[in-house]
């Protein structure tokens, strides 16, 4: 004999009742009369914009001109971070820890760590000259540096008992094919020591700033001969184009 299932079915009925009640609530809300003009929800008016990819911030080491891009006779190498901290100040003519006259003419502070500065130096061994490319990130406005150079065009810097006279002359701003870039050119001499023990360094530099990235290309020699302007300008154009590439 088959027995009939006499267990209560209130759970299934309760589930169906809850769903029905929810449907009734939604239907009731949709059928109520609301005063005012019907307007679509803002979400219906504006499509959700796709999330933009975060901007890629490249380190100076990724922006500095590769050594193989240097022209002959310059044999170039990438300087390790510890060498950057020694080589970069040489290009200002004023060593860290110097006492300067006029006061207040120390070069602007700079972070020489790999997140802020990278350098490649090409050497002409026969001519005892170098062309260096220095890329700095988060550099202040180039106009500030121009003001510093104007106000501190001649500085006596003394360190470890040796006084150097640093003379800087601004030149015509070089033209480059990068929109929005600022440029600056200078020549500089550093006369150190006195008499037969003295030494003269001569420099010519081209500088470009693209937003917060500064590219400085400097020719340096240990005599008063004219700079290798053709190769200096060539490396400058190449270095700026490389740093500004997408």
Higher pLDDT, 20 or 210: 210
CATH of the domain spanning 60-243 = 3.40.1000
Q: In this structure, are residues 149 and 138 in contact, taking their beta carbons and an 8 Å threshold?
A: no
Domain ranges within the chain, ordered by starting residue: 60-243
Higher pLDDT, 103 or 15: 103
Non-local CB neighbours of 143 within 8 Å, separated by 6+ positions? 182
Residue 83 has pLDDT above 50, yes or no: yes
- For the record, the structure tokens of 189 come out as 């001499």
What is the reported pTM? 0.77
- Cross-strand partners of 117: 136
Distance of CA 159 to the CA centre of its chain: 31
| Closest of 184, 175, 81, 96 to residue 139, by C-alpha | 184
Integer CA distances (angstroms), 237 to 66, 67, 75, 102, 232, in order: 13, 15, 18, 34, 9
| Closest of 188, 191, 201, 199 to residue 165, by C-alpha | 191
**Residue 206: predicted pLDDT:** 99
| Closest of 117, 214, 227, 100 to residue 169, by C-alpha | 227
Residue-wise pLDDT for 182-204, tens only, equals 999 999 999 997 766 789 999 99
Q: What gap in Å lies between CA 194 and CA 161, rounded to an integer?
A: 12
- For the record, the structure tokens of 122 come out as 């090409």
Residue-wise pLDDT for 99-109, tens only, equals 999 999 999 99
Break the chain down into helix, strand, coil percent, rounded to 5: 30, 30, 40
**Residue 34: predicted pLDDT:** 38
**Residue 32: predicted pLDDT:** 40
Give the mean pLDDT of the chain.
83
Q: What gap in Å lies between CA 244 and CA 33, rounded to an integer?
A: 61
């Amino acid at each position: 004999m088959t027995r009939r299932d006499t267990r209560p079915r209130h759970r299934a009925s309760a589930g169906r009742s809850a769903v029905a009640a929810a449907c009734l609530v939604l239907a009731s809300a949709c059928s109520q009369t609301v005063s005012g003009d019907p307007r679509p929800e803002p979400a219906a008016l504006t499509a959700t914009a796709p999330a933009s990819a975060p901007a890629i911030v490249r380190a100076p080491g990724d922006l500095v001109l590769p050594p193989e891009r240097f022209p002959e006779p310059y044999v170039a190498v990438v300087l390790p971070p510890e060498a950057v901290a020694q080589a970069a100040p040489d290009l200002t003519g004023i060593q860290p820890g110097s006492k300067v006259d006029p006061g207040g003419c120390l070069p602007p502070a700079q972070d020489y760590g790999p997140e802020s500065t990278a350098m490649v130096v090409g050497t002409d061994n026969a001519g005892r000259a170098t062309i260096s490319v220095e890329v700095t990130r988060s550099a202040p406005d180039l106009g500030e540096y121009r003001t510093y150079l104007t106000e501190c065009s001649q500085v006596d810097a003394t360190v470890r008992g040796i006084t150097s006279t640093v003379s800087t002359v601004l030149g015509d701003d070089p033209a480059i094919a990068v929109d929005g870039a600022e440029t600056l050119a200078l020549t500089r001499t550093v006369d150190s020591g006195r008499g037969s023990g003295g030494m003269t360094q001569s420099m010519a530099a081209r500088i470009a700033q693209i937003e917060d990235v500064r590219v400085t290309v400097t020719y340096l020699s240990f005599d008063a001969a004219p700079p290798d302007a053709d190769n200096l300008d060539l490396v400058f154009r190449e270095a700026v184009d490389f740093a500004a590439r997408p």
